[in-house]
Chain A
Amino acid sequence: MKMDGGRAMILVEHLTHIYAPGTPLALTSLEDVSLHIEEGEFVVLAGATGSGKSTLVQHFNGLLLPTAGRVLVGGRDTRDKKVRRDLWRTVGLLFQNPEQQLFEESVFAEVAFACRNLGLDEKTVEVRVCRALEMVGLEPDRYRALSPFALSRGQQRLVALAGLLAYQPPVLVLDEPTSGLDPAAREQIWQLLKKLQQAGHTVVVITHHMEDAARFAGRVVVLHRGKIYRQGTPRQVFSDPGGLRAVGLDVPMPCELMYCLQQKGLPVKSGIITLDEAELELKNLAMG
């Protein structure tokens, strides 16, 4: 892939990761993965369970050390322990079901946790926390004093997300941020992430909701059994529904539809990924 003037925020070179190397339980979770993520990109990482997505992103914030190869974040090599120790400030990682991590007595304290770990003064923390709560749609005055444990799961998810946004890491990595949520809540989160990317953040999302990936991602990277299976724009990646299904993924319905029509002999254009495009293409076809 050509880099069009963007800086490589995250550079992964021939990364291999083996859990418990040398023991009978050794498992190669990533094999010779090379990837770059530029500043300001919106990248979706997709793959079936066990494909290595979670392992990969844990190399971005220094939780994991490569067994072979290297990972550079902002030009710094993560094999250096000092680099790994402070990497969380640059790369904010939100795990799946982040409601699990809530522990503070108040929503305010919960959202402020990472900010305080950064060592910011209380005035700045106050500003950031309120702003983060507003961004996720939780009114600061109403929610700040509530206990996180008294909230619904959807609200807890938003609090965890606010905690990530409050300390403003340049790179946001989210592992299945919409899992278990209803469609309205899912849409809300994707729109928020798009806004953040437009504001300058680099956004990496692990998801298996390909309809959403089609609408929001600038680039899709598909992993399969620890290796990169395909990567490219959503249009490029979704042009092969059969292949994607073989590696355990779904394709957006419009792609599926176009693929079926193609199979039946209709001359449909390739690269259709949204409903609107499908509608347009069908109308074009009808007009000859």
Chain B
Amino acid sequence: MQGNITLGFYVPGQSFIHRLDPRTKILACLAITMAVLFCNHPAGFAALSLVTLLALGLARVTPQLLLGILRPFGIFLVLALLLQLLFTPGRPLMMLGPLQLTREGVHFGFQLLWRLVLLIISGSLLTLTTSPLMITAAMEDLLKPFRRVGVPVFELAMMMSIALRFVPTLLEEAQQIIRAQQSRGAAFTRGGLVQRVQGLVTLLVPLFASAFRRADELATAMEIRCYRAGANRTRMHQLRFHCRDYAVLAGTGVLFLIVLVMRWWG
């Protein structure tokens, strides 16, 4: 019953962000990521936070969905914060047993936390609003110039999209294999480490064997439909920039430049 799994947790929709060209979204995400990493000025953070909030609104992301995005990273975020709070040297604020909480710790800790949150949100906005297929198409297009230096861009893109297509199928098969092995007495959730590893073998060997067999059959199926590596394929979906794409690209580009300027001159 896991039929609704799609990698990257893509949720189809018609929001402004959904309708942007996937290349725009990749480039904008890249620009914002770089800006977040380079930013060291409170005004910069404020601007980035506002932009991110705007993007969330434009993508019609509900607070529940937002929490759902951040929850898997919860422990990681808390740990990152704590490490910074307790292990940054500087002017002490208070003592907690053998560890001390410093002013710098608080500053860098919350700065790191905020950076991480912004990074997670911007990455998630990309995968939430763009199907894996579109992401692959965009990557293929953006990396086209590298074809000239011999990088097999189209083939890599084909490999990636096939891999994405098979993720749900393989996940389903993995679940099926686990059920079959449990029905023969294999232990996956009981026993010591050795038993669990043995249990894992009963899952991984068949899964790999199956993946190879599928690959073989799929290669035949592709040949049947005249697929040839290196040949000139066309695409039914043509990626096209619209005004909104130029606007978003310009906006995020400018933001990135401003942050950069503030860092080197501020």
Contact = CB atoms under 8 A, between A and B. Distances in A.
* A–B contact via C-beta, under 8 angstroms: yes
B255 interface: no
Contacts of A89: 185
A164 B185 CA distance: 11
A114 interface: yes
Given A25-B4, A100-B210, A114 B184 contact: yes
A149 interface: yes
A198 B4 CA distance: 44
Interface residues of B, number: 20
Interface residues of A, number: 27
B182 A102 contact: no
Contacts of B182: 63, 88
A88 B186 CA distance: 10
A20 B1 contact: yes
A118 B209 contact: no
Contacts of B210: 100
Interface string B169-205: 0000100110111111110001000000000011001
A100 B210 CA distance: 7
B264 to A, nearest CB: 49
Q: What DSSP secondary structure best describes chain B's contact surface?
A: helix
A252 to B, nearest CB: 30
A191 B105 CA distance: 76
Given A100-B206, A103-B206, A58 B185 contact: no
A149 B209 contact: yes
A117 B185 contact: yes
Contacts of A88: 182-185
Given A100-B173, A100-B210, A101-B177, A63 B183 contact: yes
A93 interface: yes
B71 to A, nearest CB: 15
Interface in B1-37: 1, 4
B179 A63 contact: yes
A61 interface: yes
A265 B143 CA distance: 73
A100 B184 contact: no
A142 to B, nearest CB: 22
Nearest to A24: B4
11 contacts: A27-B1, A58-B179, A61-B183, A63-B179, A85-B190, A88-B184, A94-B180, A102-B206, A103-B201, A113-B186, A167-B185
Interface of B: 1, 4, 173, 176-177, 179-186, 190, 201-202, 205-206, 209-210
